[in-house]
Structure 1
Amino acid sequence: MSNNATRKPAWVIGEDWASVVAGFLIIALILLASYNIQTPSFAGKAGWGDFNTLLDGLFSSKQANATSATFGLFLVISVIGLILSGKSLKNYFWGFLAIFVLTLIAQIVSSFTGFKNFGLETVLFSLVIGLLISNLFNLPEWLRSALNTELYVKIGLVLLGATILFGDILTAGGYGILQAVVVVFGVWYFAFWIAKKLKVDDEYATMLASAVSICGVSAAIATAGAINGDKKKLSMVVSLVLIVAIPMMIFMPIIAKWIGLSEAVTGAWLGGTIDTTGAVVGAGTIAGEDGLKYATIIKFSQNVLLGVAAFAISIFWAYRNKRGEKRERVSLSILWERFPKFVLGFMLVSLFYSFILSPELTKSSGSLLKSFCNFWFALAFISIGLETRFSDFKAADNKGPVYAFLAAQGFNIILTLVVAYVIFGIIAA
């Protein structure tokens, strides 16, 4: 075959760079063209507890406008991303329409008040819906054409930079950052170590350690993108994070009151261990006003470390060969080739929103970008579910990762309690 036949078109820049371009296009649209239509939100922050409330939210003119605008924007942006990635657009419209509708269904289900009270997030229902469909039916080819998980995840991660601000360090305060650094590094190392002891592979162990130690779902997704991790392993880690967060949210505030912890220590403990923002807020609310305040501060502190961790993990992974062994010598060209470019996009967006944009514009556009980010993640997890069959989990030995996750979370609970008590119960008291 000739070189001309295999040469890529000039516009094909690869999926990583395509996600960066797509993310920057969305930001430019918001900042320069004043686009301000939120993604669909059913029944508002309170959620729906009865069908009348749900129907009012479903069929309002505001909802119709948000749904149609979101579909058009996300379709155009994803098409641009696919073109820049060099992928086919055959049957893409109908496939994207299908996963968009499934994502809306996941949002409707997750908006139920009972689920919101437990901190269950849309990505969990997206994954479950995708898994049910893929295991009950044979997927048509036109639907498979829209399952571009990596692109959706990477675009979402670039936009996530607008919500991970360096200014949050000042909000969190020195004590919050001190606890976050001690806990994140200590728990990450232990989680990785125990996973290796249980014969979990490096890829699984890295995603698992990041999820437990930093900030749950976002950390797992960022790490999977940074190391080009297996989507099925990512879905397992995310499922563990979301499921384990429920009993933690319920029982940890009760245990804190039983052993007589102050609200400050309780909040610091909750914020440092519970891996989903919704569950942190739920547990902090149970703990009291000060408990919620300190839980949020610590959660912010650990979220700030996500960008640093993703960057460090990217460099670490680039120094390893495909068998997971450390390279003796790595040229700069190989390092650059293997480095995930979307991490640079994430960092640039975070820097731009932290130091260049005005606080007012940062707050208003950052809120919109957060909703966009969550919607991209929901699309990605619908896709992961549709690509995964339960037989894949049955064929693999998944006990090791589950045991490693539970052991790491147990260590996280104990270590964070000690650190929170020392810092907020003794030093800062």
Structure 2
Amino acid sequence: MTSVTKVKLHEDWVVVVLGFIIIALAISGVLLPVPALGWKNADELGNKVLSAHNLWLIVLQFLFVGAIGAIGVFLSGKRFGDYFRGFPIVYILTILALILAGSSQAKALNLEGVIFSLVLGLAISNAFDLPQWLRDSLSTELFVKIGLVLLGTSVIFADILKAGSLGLIQSLVVVTSVWYFAYWVCKKLKVDDEIAMMISSAVSICGVSAAIATAGAIKGDSKKLSYVISMVLITAIPMMIFMPVIAGYFNFPQEVTGAWLGGSIDTTGAVVASGTLVGEAALKISTIVKFSQNVLLGIAAFAISIYWTYTKHPAANDAEKKPTLKVIWERFPKFVIGFIAASLLFSFLLSPATGAAVKDSLKNLQGLWFALAFTSIGLETKFADLFNKESRKPLYAFLAAQTFNIFVTLAIAFLLFR
């Protein structure tokens, strides 16, 4: 016990260390095989997903991720006992959720794995009285922030060049205007600051990833994050279906439609699905515009971190109302540094061939860490915490901001891409 407590780092530095351990292993050739979790029918589920070989890959993944998490527990100075009892349960539930998300029906609706993880965790926590040791074992913050550091490996600055000047201009205008409008609406409706920041980032930048990054930057409540992500994923479905129909009815040019879809729909998967419904040109433009918005995530997370650290921490006395640079550094969420460092590494230092070789493995692990986090959030949350009278105002604010986003993005798309 003494040896465990001697080693203790701040959790934000721990996740940077763990994220770069994973990245270093991948670059050095230790690539974790990606298990197959997609299936169309019962035969494919049994013969592919539940085959002996694929189950072995799932076990290997469990051992790898479990070991990384154990290192995190050690570096954080936390207790091993609860972690070793609780992590296998969280992992098994997460894999079940990802298998459900891998069905052709779920993919047709473009439902992301994290929503299944959250719903499964919520169902269990509300149906059963979970033991305290299991709740104590949940490492939600650790899982989310490791995923965020790995997310940096997919935010490539060269994507700005792919977007071209028009895509970049649209992204900057949309992100800036929609973010401020969303935040203004939230404040008018007296939505608390944490959820207002998450809603603003989710609507204006890139949905789920932006909400998660913002929650990490401001050390936000995981229950509020769950609610924001639920709103993002639920509204993405009708937008994905009806926006191409509206564009077709009014005979919008494909380039305009693509820019509209890419700038206003909050999840990359839904953007691709809706662009495919319109045509090849719309798919190309929508993907490029969404890429350029995704690139802005690191800049936004850094700016939000600085703003929140400087203005939103309660002061113990008058002298601390405007904290010094030292205090800002102490409060600043260090995982943002890991995110940006990973992005710079994959953008400028690694060869494209190396990046392409490790891309799938790291993308799989990033999604897995997020899914583990949302299973944990579900297990520690009651439905009453997510959906209550206080949740109405954030919903109204989110819908108002999303409506503004749709119209502003359409106007800008016509100005730039017509």
Q: TM-score, normalization: structure 2?
A: 0.96
Deviations along 1:186-205, one digit per CA (max 9) or x if unpaired, are: 00000000000000011110
- The amino acid that maps onto 2:172 is V
CA contact (8 A) 2:6 2:77 kept: no
- The amino acid that maps onto 1:87 is K
**What is the SS of the residue equivalent to 2:80?**
coil
CA contact (8 A) 2:150 2:342 kept: yes
Q: Which among 383, 392, 403 is matched to residue 399 of structure 1?
A: 392
1:373 maps onto 2:366 in alignment: yes
TM-superposed deviation, 1:97: 0.6
| Equivalent position of 2:19 in the other structure | 23
| Equivalent position of 1:54 in the other structure | 45
- The amino acid that maps onto 1:389 is K
Q: Which among 176, 179, 182 is matched to residue 185 of structure 1?
A: 176
CA contact (8 A) 1:89 1:145 kept: no
Bigger mean CA deviation after superposition, 233-242 or 137-146: 137-146
Q: Which among 28, 36, 46 is matched to residue 31 of structure 2?
A: 36
CA contact (8 A) 2:34 2:364 kept: yes
| Equivalent position of 1:12 in the other structure | 8
Q: Which among 252, 269, 285 is matched to residue 260 of structure 2?
A: 269
* Equivalent residue runs for 1:274-289 within 5 Å: 274-289=265-280
Partners of 1:226 and 1:412 lie apart in 2 by 23
1:223 maps onto 2:218 in alignment: no
| Equivalent position of 1:137 in the other structure | 128
Bigger mean CA deviation after superposition, 146-155 or 326-335: 326-335
Deviations along 1:61-120, one digit per CA (max 9) or x if unpaired, are: 441232111101100100111111121111322311111011111111111111101210
| Equivalent position of 1:82 in the other structure | 73
* Equivalent residue runs for 1:210-359 within 5 Å: 210-323=201-314, 329-359=322-352
TM-superposed deviation, 1:39: 3.6
CA contact (8 A) 1:263 1:291 kept: yes
Deviations along 1:147-166, one digit per CA (max 9) or x if unpaired, are: 11000000000011100011
TM-superposed deviation, 1:328: 5.0
More helix by percentage: 2
Using a 3 Å threshold, how does the CA distance of structure 1 residues 143 and 40 change in structure 2: closer, same or farther? farther
* Equivalent residue runs for 1:94-133 within 5 Å: 94-133=85-124
Partners of 2:126 and 2:52 lie apart in 1 by 36
| Equivalent position of 1:412 in the other structure | 405
Partners of 1:272 and 1:189 lie apart in 2 by 16
Partners of 1:71 and 1:54 lie apart in 2 by 20
TM-superposed deviation, 1:9: 4.6
Q: Which among 147, 150, 155 is matched to residue 141 of structure 2?
A: 150
Report the count of equivalent residues.
415
| Equivalent position of 2:417 in the other structure | 424
Partners of 2:230 and 2:402 lie apart in 1 by 14
Partners of 1:13 and 1:227 lie apart in 2 by 19
| Equivalent position of 2:196 in the other structure | 205
CA contact (8 A) 1:120 1:242 kept: yes
Using a 3 Å threshold, how does the CA distance of structure 1 residues 253 and 321 change in structure 2: closer, same or farther? closer
**What is the SS of the residue equivalent to 1:200?**
coil
Deviations along 1:391-415, one digit per CA (max 9) or x if unpaired, are: 2245551111000000000000000
Using a 3 Å threshold, how does the CA distance of structure 1 residues 324 and 220 change in structure 2: closer, same or farther? farther
Partners of 2:352 and 2:372 lie apart in 1 by 30
Please provide the CA RMSD for this pair: 1.8
CA contact (8 A) 1:226 1:343 kept: yes
TM-superposed deviation, 1:278: 1.3
Bigger mean CA deviation after superposition, 123-132 or 92-101: 92-101
Using a 3 Å threshold, how does the CA distance of structure 1 residues 62 and 169 change in structure 2: closer, same or farther? farther
- The amino acid that maps onto 2:25 is L
- The amino acid that maps onto 2:334 is K
TM-superposed deviation, 1:59: 2.9
CA contact (8 A) 1:90 1:145 kept: no
TM-superposed deviation, 1:423: 0.3
- The amino acid that maps onto 2:194 is E
Instruction: List runs of 5+ in structure 1 lacking aligned partners.
Output: none
1:69 maps onto 2:57 in alignment: no
Deviations along 1:310-339, one digit per CA (max 9) or x if unpaired, are: 000000011024349997522111100110
Percent sequence identity over aligned pairs: 53
Partners of 2:183 and 2:353 lie apart in 1 by 40
Partners of 2:10 and 2:4 lie apart in 1 by 10
Using a 3 Å threshold, how does the CA distance of structure 1 residues 138 and 39 change in structure 2: closer, same or farther? farther
Partners of 2:395 and 2:238 lie apart in 1 by 16
Partners of 1:41 and 1:338 lie apart in 2 by 41
- The amino acid that maps onto 2:405 is N
Deviations along 1:291-325, one digit per CA (max 9) or x if unpaired, are: 11111001101000000000000000110243499
TM-superposed deviation, 1:259: 0.9
Partners of 2:33 and 2:200 lie apart in 1 by 33
Q: TM-score, normalization: structure 1?
A: 0.93
Partners of 1:397 and 1:323 lie apart in 2 by 23
